[in-house]
Amino acid sequence: MTRIAVIGGGRIGEALVAGLLESGRASKDLVVAEPTAVRSELLGERFGVRVTDSVADAAMGADVVVIAVKPQHVDGVLTDLAKAELGDALDQVVVSLAAGIPIARFEAKLPAGFPVVRVMPNTPMLVGQGMSAIAPGRYARPEQLQLVTEMLESVGQVVTVAESQMDAVTAVSGSGPAYFFLVVEAMIDASVSLGLTRDVATRLVTQTMLGSAALLDESGQSAVELRAAVTSPGGTTAAALRELERGALRSAFHEALHAAKSRSAEVGGTAD
């Protein structure tokens, strides 16, 4: 069995561990590196996996080393990984879930020719509904990319993109849940202003979003087609959509995603 080391026991690291176990991975094949004692104890008790405070200890002997830490902690992790003598005993691959950090930064600090796969996940992986985009480094082989794909499919869906598209992916699916939650928040507030209780408004909006997403996913129709099917000429939906268009909703999303892409490039040092 593939042995997987998860470096970082935060929410994303925990979600990956939970998904891997749910998909049938044995707890003995997983190890987590987490320096915070309280968090370490919680993960060990909740999932029955080995948890260590040493990055080098976790990575030693692992087939896949997943770096699931905040971007500012990546360099420290790479320094610690150097102590693990990566690549000496096994054909290992490093998988980065750290937002904005380019593959070249990992390849420069890891042993020459070391395979790296960059991933942009999102928070719905916490409930097994994540969207992950993966980009292979220069030395990652097809079978390693497939291994990473299968690992991430335990917590959602996966697409493969060129690394040059990662800033755009970050703007769309990486930050996307926040846009969705903002729309939900706005709809709930507006519903309350119509006289509904917040509990009822929350239930109405949440289920409407869930049902609409399922319909879009399963119907085979485009968002344009489904929107048109709900919009009768001169009806209530048409009146509402007219106000949203008047409020420049499309333009706001266009500017928002471009801003997110630009910021992602700045963080990763890839901005023009």
pLDDT digits (tens, 9 = 90+) for 105-142: 999 988 888 999 999 999 999 888 999 999 999 999 99
For the chain, residues classed under CATH 3.40.50.720 are 4-162
Which burial class, exposed, middle or buried, applies to 245 when counting CB atoms under 10 A from its CB (0-12, 13-18, 19+)? exposed
The whole-number pLDDT of residue 272 equals 55
- Fold of the CATH domain 4-162: Rossmann fold (3.40.50)
What pTM, to 2 d.p., does this model score?
0.88
CATH code of the domain made up of 176-268: 1.10.3730.10
Query: Does residue 87 have a pLDDT over 80?
Result: no
- Do 138 and 107 contact (CB within 8 A), yes or no? yes
Percent of the chain with pLDDT over 70: 97
The whole-number average pLDDT for the span 19-34 is 93
Residue with tokens 């005993």: 89
Query: Does residue 268 have a pLDDT over 70?
Result: yes
Query: How many angstroms separate the Cα of 172 from the Cα of each of 61, 68, 154, 246, 264?
Result: 36, 20, 21, 23, 11
For the chain, residues classed under CATH 1.10.3730.10 are 176-268
Query: How many angstroms separate the Cα of 248 from the Cα of each of 26, 170, 222, 229?
Result: 50, 23, 22, 22
Phi-psi region of 13 (alpha: psi -120 to 50; beta: other; left: phi over 0): alpha
Residue 94, strand partner residues? 65, 116
Q: How many CA atoms lie within 13 A of 7 on its CB side?
A: 30
Question: What distance in Å separates the CA atoms of residue 128 and residue 140, rounded to the nearest whole number?
Answer: 26
The whole-number average pLDDT for the span 212-217 is 97
